[in-house]
Amino acid sequence: MNTHRFLRAYMAGIVVPTIAVPLGLVVFFIARYGFQIPIPIERVVIFPMALIPTLFGLWNMLYARLSTGRYFPLGLHGALLPVVFIPLGMAGAVAGQFLSLGSKGIVWFDAITIPYKLFVPWIAVVMIVYYLIWKYLVGFCNKILELP
Amino acid sequence: MKETNDARFKSLLKQALRPISPELQRDLWPQMLRRIDERSPAKTVPWFDWALLAIVVISNLVFPHSILLLLYQL
């Protein structure tokens, strides 16, 4: 299967977030209505639903381009995606008015505060999650669609 | 004489060989997949990845609210 390489890469890339986003939404609904955490769901869901699957697809297309003729670890490629995602997500959160900078740390949803000293470790955890997702889940989809 | 021999030879051949069905008797794709799996080396998750997964799980247990932030970024 040598044709439509980038289309296959895009399709393989969007599988995981397309499945994960509805599951994530369920968790948000449980947090909002079950645990009464004041999350403005209608504003929060815009970023995950609109952008993340598309960016996964585009990032996998970039991988298909970069890995042509050379070895490039997919996990490492995926781990770099939060470098793009986190600023975009935070910008979306500021625009949606559910992120602010407090005296002790970054306040999300007017309820969750990440102390400034834990911000970098939090980014590292996000990168680890992305590394694992891309190495195993996106890698599996790529294998099925006969991508490197 | 030659035609008789040919007809006899034909009937002997028919008796000796089993009839061949043009349809496949079974689905060959699962067998093909099995052969592909046998050829590829067994994949095991390296200890390093287990350690990374443990870091994620522990951090989410220590800071359960961070699960929402993680999901927001997924």
Q: Does B18 touch chain A (CB under 8 A)?
A: no
Confidence at residue A61, expressed as pLDDT on a 0 to 100 scale: 92
Q: Does B43 touch chain A (CB under 8 A)?
A: no
Model confidence at A99: pLDDT above 70? yes
- Mean pLDDT of chain A, nearest integer: 84
| Dist. CA A72–CA A64, nearest whole Å | 10
How many Cβ pairs closer than 8 A exist between chain A and B?
Answer: 62
pLDDT tier for residue A133 given thresholds of 50, 70 and 90: very high
Mean predicted confidence (pLDDT) in A12-31: 85
Nearest CA in chain A to B68: A28
Q: Is A31 in contact with A39 (CB distance < 8 Å)? A: yes
Model confidence at A130: pLDDT above 90? yes
The pLDDT tens digits of the residues spanning A44-93 come to 777 777 788 899 999 999 998 888 777 788 889 999 998 888 888 888 88
Give A52→chain B minimum CA distance, Å.
Answer: 7
Confidence at residue A60, expressed as pLDDT on a 0 to 100 scale: 92
Q: Who has greater pLDDT, A42 or A11?
A: A11
Mean predicted confidence (pLDDT) in A5-30: 87
| Dist. CA A59–CA A54, nearest whole Å | 9
| Dist. CA A1–CA A72, nearest whole Å | 21
pLDDT tier for residue B38 given thresholds of 50, 70 and 90: low
Mean predicted confidence (pLDDT) in B41-57: 83
- pTM score of the predicted model: 0.74
Model confidence at B43: pLDDT above 70? no
DSSP string, B28-64: -HHHHHHHHHHHSPPP---HHHHHHHHHHHHHHHHST
Provide the ipTM.
0.75
Give A23→chain B minimum CA distance, Å.
Answer: 9
Model confidence at A1: pLDDT above 80? no
The pLDDT tens digits of the residues spanning A108-125 come to 777 777 888 888 888 899
Long-range pairs of B54-62 with CB within 8 A, sequence gap ≥ 24 = B55/A125, B55/A128, B56/A125, B56/A128, B56/A129, B56/A132, B59/A121, B59/A125
Binary contact (B72, A126; C-beta < 8 A): no
CB environment A113-142: b (16+ within 10 A), e (fewer): bbeeebeeebeebbbbbbbbbbbbbbbebb
For chain A, how many structural domains are there in total? 1
Q: Does B74 touch chain A (CB under 8 A)?
A: yes
Model confidence at A128: pLDDT above 90? yes
Nearest CA in chain A to B69: A108
Residues 6 or more apart from A33 whose CB is under 8 A from it?
Answer: none
Confidence at residue A22, expressed as pLDDT on a 0 to 100 scale: 84
Sequence-ordered strand ranges (E) for A1-148: 99-101, 105-108, 112-115
DSSP string, A84-103: HHHHHHHHHHHHTT-EEE-S
Query: Which pair of structure tokens corresponds to residue A26?
Result: 């369920």
Note down the domain range covering A75.
Answer: 5-144
Cα dihedral: A36, A37, A38, A43 (round 10): -120
